[in-house]
Every structure is written in C-alpha cells, then in structure tokens.
Structure 1
Amino acid sequence: MKSCVTIALVPSIRTGPWIYWEDLAASMAKAASLGFDGVELFTASADAVDPSHLKQLCQRYNLSIAAVGTGAGKVIHGLTLTDPDPAVRAQAVAFVREMIAFGAQVGAPAIIGSMQGNVVAGVEREQAFNWLAEGLNTLGDYAESKGVPLIYEPLNRYETNLINRLNDGVALLNGLSTRNIKLLADLFHMNIEEASMPDSIRSAGTAIGHVHFADSNRRPIGGGHTAMAGIAEALRELKYSGYVSAEAFPWPDPDAAAEQTIKSYRQYFG
C-alpha cells in the first residue's frame, strides 16, 4: 500500500475535505517531507495545472500523482452524468474526458464521485442508471485508451441516491461493458452506509482500486471513532496495493492533519 495526501487548488470549495490547499509546490514539499508516497489533486479544470510543471514537481519531491478528482465539474459547473438534459450529460462526459487525459499524462486515474449525480424528480430510477452506465462505459473505455483506470466512488445517502455501498458498486460495475473501472472505498461514506466496513471490503475484493482514508467525522484518522484495525486487516488480506489517500478535513490545521494522517498510516499499514 502507498500513502497519499490530498491537495485542493480551488479556493471556492475551501470548506471541503482536503488536507492541503492552493499552493501546489509548497504542499508537495510538505507531503514529501513527511514521507508520503503520493498526492491526490482536486483542480478546477484539466488545464488548471501544466502537466510538464507537475511532472517536474513529482521528480523534485519524489512523489506520484495518485489520482485526480473531477468534482469541480459539478461544484463549479453543475454537470453530472445523470442530468435529464442530454446536452448537460454530454458536457459532463467531456469534462471528465479532459480530466482523464490530464491525469493520464502523469499516470493518474480520474475519480468520479459527485459527478455521478442523482435520480432527480420526474426521472425513473432505471433511466438514471442507464444514463450513468452510458457515461461510465464511454469514460471507462476512454481511460483505457489513455492507459489508466477510471475510479468510481459510492457516496453516502446524503450526497447521492444512486450507489451508496460497495457491494452495490460492484453490481453496477459488473453490469457495464467496460472492464476498466475500479471502486473507491471511502471510509467516511462507508462509516455511514456499511454494516461492517471490513466485511464490505472483503466482499468487494479486487474491485477496490483506491481508498479514502478519513475518520467517522471526516477528520484525519484518529480524530473520530472508526475502528481502523479491522479495516487495515481486511485490506492486507486482499493484498491491496493501491493508495490510501487522506480525503479529510484539515483539522485542526493542514500541517497537523497531514502529520496525524501519516502517523495513522504508519500505525496501521507501516
């Protein structure tokens, strides 16, 4: 397994669950000094960061880009893969394609979380899932052409009424034509939705391609009541070798949150 910390470069979402903010180079320098293996980026768009500059920073600080988020597509532009308007769905697919292409230049997958959207009033649930599947199939195949997987994230019930649990995510992926999508196991969302987080991880198995490392209250691990020992054991049993990435609030401040995260990572996965 590999340790990872999040960096958000979008000032308008300052209250979100990301450890470092705004200054990419300084944040990467701090992550490297603490011994993280990689960073996960949340940018406003695919052209917000020059890929050549990002590669230089990765080499300078000996860090990998674990993943790139696509949530700005919804947060800033209101785009989702399940919008009833076909023009909006097309724009959503185009936005994610651009993020996939950006991430692929540094070997990083893109994550689809909030951009999956919801079943909205007046739309049949089956129809919304058909739109979601259509978008995921297109984007999964596109990511494959770029040499990276696509990551799909089940969210808790307060953020989506589509897929909330890992097992439902597995069923969704099994029904797609693309075989290039992995699940994101977000411990914060799982704390709300799963009866047993270790059992859910074991059941999802190799479908898991990324882990978000946050406590029950979305503070860094150690700041809530999540029972991490069993979760860590389940991931080790699966021989999970991906990133364990801190998508958590910068509590009480970014530096302390990063230090707590790497301390907890070493405690459970060291």
Structure 2
Amino acid sequence: MPLGFAAPLAEAVRHLADLGYDGVEVQVREKGARDADALARTVAGTGLKILGIGTGPVAAQDRLTLADPSPDVRRHALARLLDAARLAGALGVPVTLGQTRGTFLPGLADAQRLWVERAVRRLAEEASAHGSRLLLEPQSRATTSLWHTPGEAVTVIRTLGSPAGLVLDSHHLEAERVDTVQAVTEHAHVTGCLQLAATVTRGPLPVGDPRLPPLLKALRQGGFTGWLTLEHTQDGDSVRAAARSWTALTDAAAALA
C-alpha cells in the first residue's frame, strides 16, 4: 500500500516499536478470522497492539467495490469485507470502510446507492455479531461517489441499527474543503480513528505542523478514545517517514502538556 509502511509486517512492527509507536492499523486484502492468531503473534512479539483492521486494498489492489455493476464483483467485494469484519472481531478491534464502497456510473446512481447501503448495513451487522464495529470513512469524491463529509457519514451510521463510528482523514477532509479541527471538534465522540498526513503533499507530518496542537486539543476535549493513524506517502524510506511523523506528533503533544 503506497500510504502504508513499505516492509513485511514483522519488519514493519519491529521498526515502529523501536520508534515508540503503540500500535498498528493493519490493511487487509484477503484475510479472515482464521488469520487472527498468526497476525496477533507477529505484532504482539514487539509489544505493539493491533488497533484496527482496514479494508482499502480490497478496492485499491483488486478493484472490488460494493457499487460495481457486476453482481459477481459486488458479492466478491462484500465477501472480502465480511471476512475482514470477522478478523477484526477475532482481534477485538474495529473494521474500517473507505473507497471499497465504490463510484457511480451515469444512469446507475440510484441503483448503485441502494446496493451500497444494503451491503454496508450487512457489514455493520456482521461486525457487531463478531464483537467488532464498523467505522465509516468520509472520503473525497475523487475516490467514492457517496458520503464525502462527516455529516453525511454520521447520517448513514445512525440508520444502520448496529454500533458504528467514523474514521476522519485529514487529506480527504481538506480535499472536500472541510476544516479538520472543526470536524474533530464536532465528531470526536463518534470517531474511532483519525488519519493524518501533511497538508497538500499527503506526505509525512512536518515538525511544527500548526494543525496538530489544536487537533490534539479537540480530540482530548471531545472525549476521543480511538487511535491516530499516520496514513501518508513514504518518500522512499518508511522508517524515516514514520520517525518524522512520530516526532511531529510527540512535539505537538508535549506543547500541550
């Protein structure tokens, strides 16, 4: 994944533990509950925790989405997501959904919206049944045709009938001209994960990033209990990128202490 640590998992978690990270969000392509023990052992050996299961590779790598005109593709996409939800449940963590909900085609938008809504409801139910919960990520219209803002995503999760929350991503919020600090202030209580990257470049966080102190303050005041994910480009060196973002975050946190 271009926005994730570029190394095998065992190597990645070792480096991240050495840098001082507390845990990892694992992006899965085709994994289920059967893989939970091996995954947990790999990560726990470093002292880190698995904090969440992401599903981005289902669409990004295999082009499977819940809005695809092909019923077979939609079924395949949902099956992958349900497996990810079962894996998350076995690990006791949330499962996230972003671009795998898909994009609309001319003349099919109404039908595609119904397909996605039904599938997301099914995914939320499956996550809940297995001890997990769904976190829905508002994304820019460059990656999906529906639920671009936190308000739109909150409206959806209120209709699901199963426990659910938000993933907020600074890159997607900025692309939709949503103020990140304001979004966090309004939705910290329902947010399970905040994904961070440098503004404009979507690279590692720069030390002294002026957004970070007010973001951390808003999270604290809003009762946020989730995790922060550094989801950004790696600039050809994941260890250095992770170290740079770690320093930016810890410096910002220290300034608030």
Alignment TM-score > 0.5, same fold: yes
Alignment partner, residue 43 of structure 2: 58
| Rounded Cα–Cα distance in structure 2 between residues aligned with 1:226 and 1:91 | 43
Deviations 1:49-105 (A, max 9, x none): 943222222332111112222122223332111223333222211110111112322
| Deviation of the 1:135 alpha carbon | 0.9
Partner SS state of residue 160, structure 1: coil
Q: Give structure 1 regions of 4+ aligned residues with deviation exceeding 6 angstroms.
A: 223-226
Please give the TM-score of this superposition, normalised by the length of structure 1: 0.85
- Which of 160, 171, 193 aligns to 1:177? It is 160
Deviations 1:9-52 (A, max 9, x none): xxxx5xx211x223111111111111111011123310699432
> Any conservation in 2 of the 1:17–1:248 contact (CA below 8 Å)?
yes
Q: Does 1:28 align with 2:28?
A: no
Q: Does 1:76 align with 2:61?
A: yes
Alignment partner, residue 3 of structure 2: 17
Q: Which runs of 5+ in 1 are unaligned?
A: 1-12
Partner SS state of residue 212, structure 1: strand
Q: Does 1:211 align with 2:194?
A: yes
| Rounded Cα–Cα distance in structure 2 between residues aligned with 1:118 and 1:36 | 35
Please give the TM-score of this superposition, normalised by the length of structure 2: 0.89
Alignment partner, residue 199 of structure 1: 182
RMSD value, Cα: 2.2
Amino acid at match of 1:253: D
Q: Which has the higher contact order (CA 8 A, sep 6+)?
A: 1
Deviations 1:145-197 (A, max 9, x none): 111111211111211221211111112222x2323221110011112213422
Alignment partner, residue 263 of structure 1: 247
> Any conservation in 2 of the 1:118–1:162 contact (CA below 8 Å)?
yes
> Any conservation in 1 of the 2:10–2:43 contact (CA below 8 Å)?
no
| Deviation of the 1:144 alpha carbon | 0.5
Alignment partner, residue 88 of structure 1: 73
| Rounded Cα–Cα distance in structure 2 between residues aligned with 1:83 and 1:226 | 40
Q: How many residues align?
A: 253
> Any conservation in 1 of the 2:33–2:90 contact (CA below 8 Å)?
no
> Any conservation in 1 of the 2:98–2:139 contact (CA below 8 Å)?
yes
Amino acid at match of 2:185: R
Deviations 1:208-228 (A, max 9, x none): 111112111211111797622
> Any conservation in 1 of the 2:66–2:116 contact (CA below 8 Å)?
yes
- Percent identity over paired residues: 24
- Which of 107, 116, 119 aligns to 2:92? It is 107
- Which of 162, 165, 171 aligns to 1:188? It is 171
| Rounded Cα–Cα distance in structure 1 between residues aligned with 2:34 and 2:24 | 14
Q: Which runs of 5+ in 2 are unaligned?
A: none
